[in-house]
């Protein structure tokens, strides 16, 4: 195998990986996670690209302390972010699966 063939193979692998990453990012933009706090008093719907689509609050909650409401909203959003990160990490790992990368290198991309 000569150096030109290696370079061509590397370029093909790079293009394949870029295509896979683009496709996964598009999928993540459509994938929604749902999180809640306070036993369902606050619910958040967010995409895996961290776009908050909806925040729902139980009307009874509005009678409570504003600081508690803020804490529940923050907790629900943070839970949604964690869920989105898990899904994103798993899908991105799949982007370079099958690329023939040596062990340990797949996490670099």
Residue 109, pLDDT score: 47
What is the count of structural domains for the chain?
1
Q: Say if residue 13's pLDDT is above 90.
A: no
Q: Would 54 be classed as within a structural domain?
A: yes
pTM: 0.73
At residue 70, the pLDDT reads 93
Q: Is residue 1 in a domain? A: no
Tell me whether residue 73 is in a domain. yes
Picking from 92, 74, 91, the residue whose alpha carbon sits closest to that of residue 35 is 74
Q: Which helix (H) or strand (E) holds 40?
A: none
Interval 67-89: pLDDT, tens: 999 999 999 999 999 999 999 99
To the nearest whole number, what is the mean pLDDT of the chain? Answer: 87
CA separation for the pair 105, 50 (Å, rounded): 27
Residue 21 lies in a domain: no
Position 53 in a domain:
yes
38: in domain? yes
User: Residue 34 sits in which domain range?
Assistant: 28-95
Determine, yes or no, domain membership for 19: no
Q: Which residues contact 75 (CB under 8 A, 6 or more apart)?
A: 37, 38, 42
The CATH code of the domain that includes 63 is: 3.30.1310.10
Any domain includes 39: yes
């Amino acid at each position: 195998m000569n150096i030109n063939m290696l370079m061509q193979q590397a370029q093909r692998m790079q293009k394949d990986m870029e295509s896979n990453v683009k496709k996964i990012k598009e999928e993540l933009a459509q994938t929604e996670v749902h999180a809640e706090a306070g036993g369902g008093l606050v619910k958040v719907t967010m995409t895996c690209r961290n776009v908050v689509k909806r925040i729902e609050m139980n009307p009874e909650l509005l009678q409570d302390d504003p600081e508690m409401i803020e804490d529940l909203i923050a907790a629900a959003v943070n839970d949604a972010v964690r869920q989105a990160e898990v899904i994103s990490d798993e899908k991105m790992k799949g982007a370079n699966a099958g690329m023939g990368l040596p062990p340990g290198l797949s996490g670099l991309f």
